[in-house]
Amino acid sequence: MGCAACAVRLERLARELPGVESATVNFASGLMTVVCRTEPAPLDALKKAVEAAGYRLATGYSSPLAAKEAADRQSYRQLKRKTLAAWALALPLLAIGMGGMRFEGAEALMTVLSLGILAGCGRSFFANGLRQALRGYPTMDTLIALSCSVSFLLSLFNTLFPGFCAASGVEGAVYYESAGLIVTFVLTGKLLETRSGHSAASAIRGLMRLQPVTACRLGPQGPEEIPSGELLPGDLLQIRPGEKIPVDGLLHSGTSWVNESMLSGEAIPVEKKPGDKVFAGTINQTGAFVLQTLDVGEATRLGQILRAVQDALAGKAPVQRLADRISAVFVPLVLGVSLLTLGIWLVAGGVALWPLGLLSAVSVLVIACPCALGLATPAALMAGMGKAAEQRILIRNAAALENLCKVDTLVLDKTGTLTLGVPEVKDAYWLSPPRVRYIDVLFTAETKSEHPLASAVLRWMRHSGASFIPLDHFQSLTGRGLCLKASGQTFWVGNGALRESFRARIPEPVKQRVTQWNACGYNILYYGSDTRLLAAIALADSLRPSSGPALEALRGEGIEVHLLSGDSTQATAAVAKALGISSVRAEVLPQEKEQYIRALQATGKKVAMVGDGINDSQALARAEVGIAMGRGTDVAMDVAQVTLMHSDLSLLPLAIRLSRQTLGVIRQNLFWAFLFNLTGIPLAAGALYPSWGLLLNPMLAGAAMALSSVAVVANSLRLKYLK
């Protein structure tokens, strides 16, 4: 595609096909996303329509981003060769044309040098420009081809017939250097744009390189090296020390330590034993092991991240719609302005000024190319999303990035979001010194339980020296706890209802402690034998270390914080008090969370919802921006538009600041792109000539146009280096 007008036209072509619901073409990334109402999708018809319009549509790739990167590398090498060749011819052309070098045959040499640039290096501009013009859809290539053709043909006419202009009293000047340097400057600008685009997407390419190209599969004949794309669920893979893991799977045999920093952000390797899950893109550290494949390709967690990035790059932010509407009519408008410029010059000065009028018309064609306008939004989005991916913030679409900066109210779930989602023992009260036998019974009871509180008690007891003992009887009492017999004696572990059923009295010292625990929102676990209470244990979920600083940073950004939880009033209030949150609702159902967000939106609030569970999915979908924690449920991450990949709330203010910075850069880009065209076109048309005698040479117009595009991309690249 030559410019944003190409992208707009391709979108229109795709939408006109039967069965197509919507189509989006991203000028910067070169990706087309089409949503169809019919099955199968009309891919053949789409491909024919695109090719009939003079473009190529590359389809059928398992990894479009990887295919696009390979195509971009090849295109960049070709563009670099063309640009270097153009400069090799343009420098002597410039020296002769503007350096005052006059000798016999100078104009003939300039003709050859200019023709070499136009026909050799700039051939694609003429081929594409003519093809699109004949179809009634002129593009940037059409403007360049037309302006260079006029400059070259006028110069050639004055070279072949020098006396014609002289007989009319008009100077027969030649403008070979303008024609050649327009192409040279445009090629240079495109080269810099392409190079800058690669830089903007460097974090995304880094994600693509995380998945190894090949894998060692254990087949009937032994180990065999095969492409990762050929792996199937159920395959057994040999993973050696230092290798990247190609798929998501279960560790089948062996043990190792795996670096999962690309997913979790933690640099400390994680120990993996048989039955543990490992993920594509993570790095095996020390031991060799055999992996059983579960998910491959886009089904892996890494594949889902790449797919989300691909969808985000193919999408458009709402702020881009204005630029798209203008780009759709910009090229025909510029052609009209160019003809109007020539007409005004002829009316004002007659035949004597027609060469100046022609040069002004050519300058208008060159300087008004809408490249900067077309790159203003996608270049910034690519840089912003790449920066977010680098920080392990997955933004699924361009609209989410734009909406994030508008958020003024944040609604947070408690468990798994503000807290770790893993209960732990906070305190315990033994009515008498804990005898070894009592500890052994409690340890044995909790090892047989699947309740999360049982796991917390076991972690708490791991250094107690407790051991497993045989039981005479074991019974799980749903909603209350456990009951067991050991050596003929009855023991029980559970909540207050279970204690009351055994009529175990709570001594006064324990009552005081329990009152304190209830005020803190702790869960109380009672342990006793028959009617005697042996111990009371307080458990609670711990706050994430990042929760407090993250909320302070958000308040500093002027964001109002609310807390919603399905947990008890006491537990929710305790967390709210610790974090200084005043707007709190506890014991809410999933639909009540959604209703709460609706009520906020009805008052004009722009709401972001942060959650990690299935019970948060309705609220995540209802909010302007849904934000999921990376270790939450798949449903929450599917619904959310933003995912914090390693469940660190400190990423939340970072995501909002990055959104604001990206939108700021987009607005700057659009402002300068509009300003460039609004001031450049009158200047090129000769608005300053009557008063100041200033006229913009087409060659300088080409340089200005190329520099405007490079400036927009360079401004977008600032996002990569912002703190």
Active site (catalytic) residues: 413
Distance between CA atoms of 99 and 177, rounded to whole angstroms?
A: 11
Pick the closest to residue 616 from 593, 648, 642 (CA basis): 593
Q: Tell the residue number behind the tokens 């893979």, with chain if given.
A: 237
Pick the closest to residue 631 from 270, 234, 284 (CA basis): 270
Element (H, E) at 413: strand 409-413
The helices-and-strands tally (H runs, E runs) of the chain is: 27, 24
Let me know the angle formed at the C-alpha of 550 by 547 and 552, rounded to the nearest 5 degrees.
110
Distance between CA atoms of 526 and 567, rounded to whole angstroms?
A: 20
- Centroid of chain to Cα 91: 42
Distance between CA atoms of 579 and 568, rounded to whole angstroms?
A: 17
Pick the closest to residue 1 from 38, 26, 33 (CA basis): 26
Distance between CA atoms of 719 and 384, rounded to whole angstroms?
A: 6
- Kindly list the distances between the CA atom of residue 429 and the CA atoms of 261, 297, 425, 512, 522, in Å, as whole numbers in the listed order: 40, 52, 11, 11, 14
Residue 559: phi, psi to the nearest 5? -100, 130
3-state SS record for 344-363? HHHHHHHHHHHHHHHHHHHH
Q: Is 614 helix (H, G, I), strand (E, B) or coil?
A: helix
**Cross-strand pairs, 32:** 25
- Centroid of chain to Cα 637: 14
310 Cβ contact partners less than 8 Å away, ≥ 6 residues apart? 31, 64, 65
On the question of a cis peptide bond just before residue 40, with omega within 30 degrees of 0, the verdict is: yes
Structural contact between residues 234 and 213, judged by C-beta atoms closer than 8 angstroms: no
605 Cβ contact partners less than 8 Å away, ≥ 6 residues apart? 408, 409, 560
Structural contact between residues 491 and 485, judged by C-beta atoms closer than 8 angstroms: yes
From edge to edge, which strands make up the β-sheet containing 583-585? 393-395, 642-644, 625-629, 607-611, 409-413, 560-564, 583-585
Distance between CA atoms of 349 and 362, rounded to whole angstroms?
A: 18
Q: Is 407 helix (H, G, I), strand (E, B) or coil?
A: coil
DSSP string for residues in 312-378: HHHS--TTHHHHHHHHHHHHHHHHHHHHHHHHHHHHHHGGGGHHHHHHHHHHHHHHT-THHHHHHHH
- Kindly list the distances between the CA atom of residue 264 and the CA atoms of 210, 382, 429, 629, in Å, as whole numbers in the listed order: 14, 23, 36, 11
Structural contact between residues 414 and 567, judged by C-beta atoms closer than 8 angstroms: yes
Residue 264: phi, psi to the nearest 5? -95, -20
Q: Where are the alpha helices (DSSP H) in 350-474?
A: 354-367, 371-390, 398-404, 436-447, 452-461
The token duo for 685 is 């048309």
DSSP string for residues in 149-187: HHHHHHHHHHHH-HHHHHHTT------HHHHHHHHHHHH
Distance between CA atoms of 81 and 194, rounded to whole angstroms?
A: 14
Residue 380 has a CB neighbour count (10 Å cut-off) of 33
Distance between CA atoms of 649 and 626, rounded to whole angstroms?
A: 14
